């Protein structure tokens, strides 16, 4: 497994996102033993970058990750996130990045993860009610205390990133980036490179769509978050299948899977990019991790760069409202 640097933090260039093991997608929390096997398989294959968040569950995903890492904590760069749970009474999905909320959040995360330090601690969404300088000031204190090693932002816009980085170095920005979500390439990616901040693409498989497993809205259970995602609904889903078919054609040429092509394309975008594909199954960890060894030709990359554009926003209206761009 090759490694990359995220603003000075060394990680395997393919990581593992743990969210779907406990939240949002159907099947979450139905087989924790397999989820733990998936995490262990990842570590055995050289994956050193594990991603979770306080809000996943909430709390139970961190607990699961903590359980899986018992005795193996020092093998991973452990990333988690705060700011989408207000401990002052607001509860889940209330944005709160105030210093007081961060203080409470970090203690809970450390306890659930069974560790005394977090390698990469992200603000999950920008809090419009707390100046970013105050948030990063509180994070800098946690770094000074040794509870946090590096800080990150998720779905922050350019101006916020600059202001944050001026207070304390930001190691990574986490945002959605994949074959069907590329809007960051115009301005955000050049800014990250100017500032020396790494990029962690979330949902690198398009929430699973780019793997080709969804062919109809009937393939999505009613309790699944994707049921209401604009790219997975009705006619949009049918139109978006053109993208998967184009990726599948290249996968067939190189004897790979569509998931592997989606990841190999991301890896080809730079050595400051470390995607975190999510799966709760050990076999898919093996498949996704093997994308590290796939080299795409210039012609294949050109074709992937010119895929049919997606139909539908990447999040629903309320989700888009919390994203700073
Ligand atoms: N910062 C943020 O706001 C934010 C937002 C979303 C996600 N994230 C992070 O990013 C990580 C990944 O994102 P994601 O889970 O939303 O999307 P993803 O990685 O694009 O796709 C995950 C989905 O694809 C399926 N899958 C994975 N590998 C597959 C394969 N080889 N073949 C077929 N299906 C496959 C998974 O199902 P199975 O589990 O059943 O295999 C799951 O349903 C999350 O775990 C989380 O840590 C962060």
Q: What is the pLDDT of residues 74-97, one digit of tens each?
A: 999 999 999 999 999 999 999 999
What integer pLDDT is reported at residue 325 of this predicted model? 79
Inside any domain, residue 257: no
Where does ligand 1 bind, in terms of residues with CB under 6 Å? Answer: 17-20, 25, 27, 51, 154-155, 174, 202-208, 211, 213, 259, 276-281, 284, 287-288
Inside any domain, residue 312: no
CATH classification at residue 269? 3.20.20.100
Closest residue by Cα to residue 20 from 204, 252, 255, 212: 204
Domain that holds residue 78: 3-205+265-295
Tell me the angle at which helices 258-267 and 234-254 cross, rounded to the nearest 10 degrees. Answer: 80
Inside any domain, residue 178: yes
Average pLDDT value over all residues in the chain: 97
Distance from chain centroid for Cα 232: 19
Inside any domain, residue 43: yes
Q: How many domains does the chain have?
A: 1
Q: Which of 11, 15, 20 is the best mutation target for the ligand 1 pocket, counting ligand atoms within 8 Å of the beta carbon and taking the most?
A: 20
Inside any domain, residue 322: no
What integer pLDDT is reported at residue 296 of this predicted model? 98
**121 is annotated as an active-site residue:** no
Q: Which of 205, 240, 291 is the best mutation target for the ligand 1 pocket, counting ligand atoms within 8 Å of the beta carbon and taking the most?
A: 205
- Whole-number Å distance, alpha carbon 143 to ligand 1 midpoint, is 29
What integer pLDDT is reported at residue 118 of this predicted model? 98
- Whole-number Å distance, alpha carbon 276 to ligand 1 midpoint, is 8
**Residues of the chain scoring pLDDT < 50:** none
What integer pLDDT is reported at residue 35 of this predicted model? 98
For residues 185 and 257, is the Cβ–Cβ distance under 8 A? Answer: no
Inside any domain, residue 55: yes
- Whole-number Å distance, alpha carbon 21 to ligand 1 midpoint, is 9
Inside any domain, residue 110: yes
Whether the predicted model's global pTM rises above the 0.95 cut: yes
């Amino acid at each position: 497994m090759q490694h990359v640097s995220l603003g000075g933090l060394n990680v395997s260039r393919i990581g593992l996102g743990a969210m779907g093991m406990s939240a949002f997608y159907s099947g979450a929390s139905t087989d924790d033993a397999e989820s733990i096997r998936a995490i262990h398989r990842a570590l055995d294959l050289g994956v050193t970058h594990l991603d979770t968040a306080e809000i996943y569950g909430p709390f139970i995903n961190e607990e699961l990750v903590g359980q899986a890492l018992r005795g193996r904590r020092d093998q991973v760069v452990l990333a988690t996130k705060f700011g989408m749970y207000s401990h002052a009474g607001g509860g889940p999905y209330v944005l709160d990045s105030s210093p007081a909320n961060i203080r409470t959040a970090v203690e809970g995360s450390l306890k659930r993860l069974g560790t005394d330090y977090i390698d990469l601690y992200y603000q999950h969404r920008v809090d419009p009610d707390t100046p970013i300088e105050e948030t990063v000031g509180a994070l800098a204190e946690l770094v000074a205390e040794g509870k946090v090693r590096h800080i990150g932002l998720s779905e922050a816009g350019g101006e916020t990133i600059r202001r944050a980085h001026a207070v304390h170095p930001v190691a990574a920005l986490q945002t959605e980036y994949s074959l069907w979500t590329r809007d960051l390439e115009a301005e955000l990616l050049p800014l990250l490179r100017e500032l020396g901040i790494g990029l962690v693409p979330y949902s690198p498989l398009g929430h699973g769509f780019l793997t080709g497993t969804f062919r109809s809205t009937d393939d999505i259970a009613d309790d699944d978050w994707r049921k209401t995602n604009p790219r997975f609904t009705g006619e949009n889903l049918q139109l978006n299948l053109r993208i998967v078919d184009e990726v599948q054609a290249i996968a067939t040429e190189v004897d790979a899977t569509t998931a592997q092509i989606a990841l190999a394309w991301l890896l080809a975008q730079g050595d400051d990019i470390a995607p975190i594909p999510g799966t709760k199954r050990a076999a898919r960890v093996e498949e996704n991790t093997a994308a590290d060894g796939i080299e795409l030709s210039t012609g294949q990359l050109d074709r992937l760069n010119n895929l049919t554009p997606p139909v539908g926003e990447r999040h629903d209206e309320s989700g888009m409202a919390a994203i700073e761009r």
